[in-house]
Amino acid sequence: MIDALTKKPLTVINPAPTWPYLRVAVSQLTDIRRVLEINAISHEVSEHFISIDGGPEVAKIKLGRTPDVAAIQKILDEAS
């Protein structure tokens, strides 16, 4: 999948020791959640969205405590 904000491939952010997550444009939230749900990937969408300097709203999707980050990244890379 391509990130609507950066126009680059969507990337799982994995900053130890916190949970891996995605930062995505709200406009892509439905499509990304569909891919995660179809692949039975546990996730939680933040309750609040942010917008910096009037830019597009951004959501954070937490990917659980011990996900297979490489497998999730591969699924996202192959999703259209």
For the chain, domains (ranges, CATH) are: 21-78 (3.30.70)
In Å, what is the CA distance from 39 to each residue of 10, 15, 17, 75?
A: 16, 23, 25, 8
* 51-61 mean pLDDT: 94
pLDDT of 15 reads 87
Residue 26 to residue 56: CA distance in whole angstroms: 8
Whether the pLDDT of residue 58 is over 90: the answer is yes
